[in-house]
Amino acid sequence: MARKTGSNQTPETTPEISVVIPCYNEEAILWGAVTELHAGLLALGRSFEILISENGSKDDTRAIAGKLSRAFPEVRTVFSDEPNYGKALRRGIESALGKYVICEEIDLCDLDFHKRALKILDADGADMVIGSKAHREAHDERPMTRRAATMVMNGLLRVLLGFRGTDTHGLKAFRRDRLLHTVEKCVVDRDLFASELVIRAQRYDVRVVEIPIQIQEKRPPSIHLFKRVPNVLKNLAKLVYVVRIRNR
Ligand SMILES: Nc1nc2c(ncn2[C@@H]2O[C@H](COP(=O)(O)OP(=O)(O)OP(=O)(O)O)[C@@H](O)[C@H]2O)c(=O)[nH]1
Ligand SMILES: [Mg+2]
């Protein structure tokens, strides 16, 4: 079935899997990561699309994403102007057409996670699978400060918002129809959108399971950890107000 997509391309058929990748200032690794991921997804033998959701890059990320979409019929792009991870992820999910959505990061593109998560979703063992880097069987090779930041953040989310789990910022795979309502209800953007999505899913009784992942980034993050803190705290306060006080 042909469908209009709201982005700059119209896939001829509805894909089974949508891989959503927010991208910001990734000119160094974007082409290589997407071509490798594309080959890996082709080898799975299932129909798919790769949605690159870029916003606000100051380098050639947008031009390279455009080139990728012209080189591969399965690659689509969504662009907007303000650098904002949460907005990009949300727009990517909302533009996705697949039965399953996989939320990726360009420096990870972890096909092993895709395979394990799809196996669980195919068997209807969960509605949402989180790839956790803080799971006891995970292997996290990020520097100490970032591993510590993950632990502190998870502690705050547990105490303040009743999060049950070990990671909200990990890779995710879910059945699109089961999560659309949750996405609609989310109120924060930037870094905290991914956390809100998981915490709300748990609150709405979406079946969420965690599986361990091996983290080996292809490059350090494009935005320094400490620069992200003020926005995380502001959005955390907003989320606590909306969820705990307004009960929304
Ligand atoms: N569109 C968009 N993408 C972003 C932005 N910030 C980060 N990304 C993308 O989000 C993905 C993860 O970003 P990283 O910089 O690796 O952040 P990270 O600290 O490893 O992420 P976590 O450990 O999951 O918190 C990459 O694909 C980035 O390009 C942004 O402002 N806009
Ligand atoms: Mg990273």
Query: 211 exposed, middle or buried (CB, 10 Å; 0-12, 13-18, 19+)?
Result: buried
Which residues, other chains included, contact 76 with Cβ-Cβ below 8 Å and sequence gap of 6+?
Answer: 5, 7, 8, 9, 11, 49, 50, 51, 52, 69, 95
Residue nearest atom 28 in ligand 1 by C-alpha distance: 23
What separation in Å is there between the alpha carbon of 169 and the centre of ligand 1? Answer: 10
What separation in Å is there between the alpha carbon of 148 and the centre of ligand 2? Answer: 15
The pLDDT tens digits for 42-90 are 999 999 999 999 999 999 999 999 999 999 999 999 999 999 999 999 9
Residue 9 has pLDDT above 70, yes or no: no
User: According to the model, what pLDDT value does residue 5 have?
Assistant: 43
Cβ(206) to ligand 1 under 6 A?
A: no
In the chain the domains, ranked by start, together with CATH numbers, are 17-245 (3.90.550.10)
Among residues 130, 90, 136, 85, which one has the least CA distance to residue 110?
A: 130
DSSP character for 187? -
User: According to the model, what pLDDT value does residue 8 have?
Assistant: 54
Ligand 1 atom nearest residue 223's Cα: 15
Among residues 171, 206, 16, which one has the least CA distance to residue 96?
A: 16
User: According to the model, what pLDDT value does residue 7 have?
Assistant: 52
The closest ligand to the CA of 103 turns out to be 1
Amino acid letter, residue 30: L
From first CA to last CA, the distance across the chain in angstroms is: 37
Specify the pTM: 0.94
Report d(CA 243, CA 100) in Å as an integer: 27
Cβ(103) to ligand 1 under 6 A?
A: no
Residue 102: pLDDT band (50, 70, 90) is: very high
Q: Are 211 and 167 in contact (CB under 8 A)?
A: no
Cβ(236) to ligand 1 under 6 A?
A: no
Residue 170: pLDDT band (50, 70, 90) is: confident
